[in-house]
Amino acid sequence: MKILIVAAAAVLLMAACQNTRPANEQKKRPANTLYLPKLEEVFADSTYQLTGVAISANGRLFTNYPYWLDTHNYSVIEVVNGKPVPYPDREWNSFKKGENGQNKFVCVQSVVTDNKGYLWVVDAAGIGLSAVYQKSNKVIKINLANNKIERVYRFPDNVAGADVYLNDIRIDNKDGFAYMTSSSGGGIVILNLNTGASRFVLGNHPSVKSDTAYRFSPTGTELVKGDGKAIKVNSDGIALTPDNKWLYYKPLTDNRLFRVSTALLRNFNTPQKEIADSVKDLGHCVTTDGMIFDKSGNLYLGDLEKSSIVKITPDLKMHTIVTDKAKLRWPDSYSISRDGYLYISTSQIQYMPWFHKGEDKIQRPFKIYRIKL
């Protein structure tokens, strides 16, 4: 019976994912369905390209700047009175090429706050999306109560070696684990927060690989690199259900969605094949970068090709809740505040010079918005 229920749920979610009409175009819309029409700007930066966003329980706002382009200074900042302040201090944000990056931020990909008062920083250390710089990729745990780094997690080569670009992270403090995606070759990294042990899984599984047949077109035409080849980014977006039982993830440059049981991932003795065989294919949804669950079990994703934010409700119905081509220029990462706002960073990746023969088409400033849930 349990198998039948799971299968039925997957079928329903697949159907939901294929319903991508805006909420205001859907027929017989329930009266209690929420609109989220107003995007409020909360931060803007005209100089550096941001990706992540994190809001703490008491309303402190953080973002990060990956070392992708030559114009780069600090990596992690707190927004204080609308201004960027290097966090937790200037020393950690002082890295320059050629220096030792073990105890400095090198190329920070994401920042996430948890329910215990910590900020988690993923330093992929892949400058310009290249190989990991001098084995300096790491995850940093910062205590927001005293603004001190509490622990730095590092990885062996067989988990996060030179070719693994760590992307997003989700924290399960109840069970003591973190989960990360690798967006280079594809795969999931599991980190035991207590012991520091880690494991890499699903490296060759189709669920972490971008569909080569999908034409990813966030600008209206297929996005290609300088060599004329289509951009393909593997596992990227990641989200934990409120009960921490399921890890949702997907490749960036196609519209498929998958999930896997965290109970299997937490047991490092679970055979790789058993994990691979347990992956649930949830069908076709949208092309998203980040994604996040709220406490009620709603899953929020960004539709990169339609400049939209999408919600999948617990009854497995999918709604486009806001579309704004001027503001939602590559909605990147998400964080939900205690007072019920969804924070959205916009990184404008599709307009970077990488994809336009060296021409920078970004419309500065880069911005963070929020929307009331």
Considering the chain, what percentage of its residues have pLDDT values greater than 90?
87
Q: Which domain holds residue 81?
A: 2-372
Q: What pLDDT is stored for residue 20 in this prediction?
A: 46
Beta bridge partners of 369: 41, 344
Chain segment 171-200, per-residue pLDDT in tens: 999 999 999 999 999 999 999 999 999 999
Q: Is the backbone peptide bond immediately before 88 cis, with ω within 30 degrees of 0?
A: yes
For residue 170, pLDDT over 90 is answered with yes
Give the whole-angstrom CA distance, residue 88 versus residue 149.
8
For residue 67, pLDDT over 50 is answered with yes
In this prediction, residues 247-258 reach a mean pLDDT of 97
Q: What pLDDT is stored for residue 315 in this prediction?
A: 81
Q: Which amino acid is at 61?
A: L
DSSP structure string for 30-46: -TTPPP---PEEEEEES
Q: What pLDDT is stored for residue 31 in this prediction?
A: 43
In this prediction, residues 29-41 reach a mean pLDDT of 63
User: CATH number of the domain that 89 lies in?
Assistant: 2.120.10.30
Q: What pLDDT is stored for residue 17 in this prediction?
A: 58
CA atoms in the 13 A half-sphere facing the CB of 300: 24
- CA dihedral (236, 241, 243, 245) in degrees, to 10, reads -60
Beta bridge partners of 142: 119, 149
For residue 323, pLDDT over 60 is answered with yes
Considering the chain, what percentage of its residues have pLDDT values greater than 70?
90
Tell me which of 245 and 71 has the higher pLDDT.
245
Alpha helices in the chain (DSSP H): 2-17, 157-160, 262-266, 272-278
Tell me which of 322 and 21 has the higher pLDDT.
322
CA distances 363 to 16, 82, 83, 333, Å, are: 34, 20, 20, 19
Give the whole-angstrom CA distance, residue 12 versus residue 6.
10
For residue 3, pLDDT over 50 is answered with no
Stretch among 1-10, 12-21, 90-99 having the lowest mean pLDDT: 1-10
Q: What pLDDT is stored for residue 370 in this prediction?
A: 98
Predicted TM-score (pTM) of the model is 0.91
Q: What pLDDT is stored for residue 314 in this prediction?
A: 81
Structure tokens at 226: 């300088």
pLDDT tier at 217, thresholds 50, 70, 90 = very high
Mean pLDDT of the chain: 91
Give just the sign of the alpha carbon dihedral 275, 276, 279, 285.
positive
Tell me which of 112 and 226 has the higher pLDDT.
112
In this prediction, residues 98-105 reach a mean pLDDT of 97
pLDDT tier at 316, thresholds 50, 70, 90 = confident
Of 158, 89, 81, the C-alpha closest to 121 is 89
Give the whole-angstrom CA distance, residue 23 versus residue 317.
10
Tell me which of 208 and 5 has the higher pLDDT.
208
For residue 26, pLDDT over 50 is answered with no
Tell me which of 346 and 18 has the higher pLDDT.
346
Beta bridge partners of 140: 121, 152
Chain segment 284-311, per-residue pLDDT in tens: 999 999 999 999 999 999 999 999 999 9
Q: What pLDDT is stored for residue 29 in this prediction?
A: 44
Total number of domains in the chain: 1
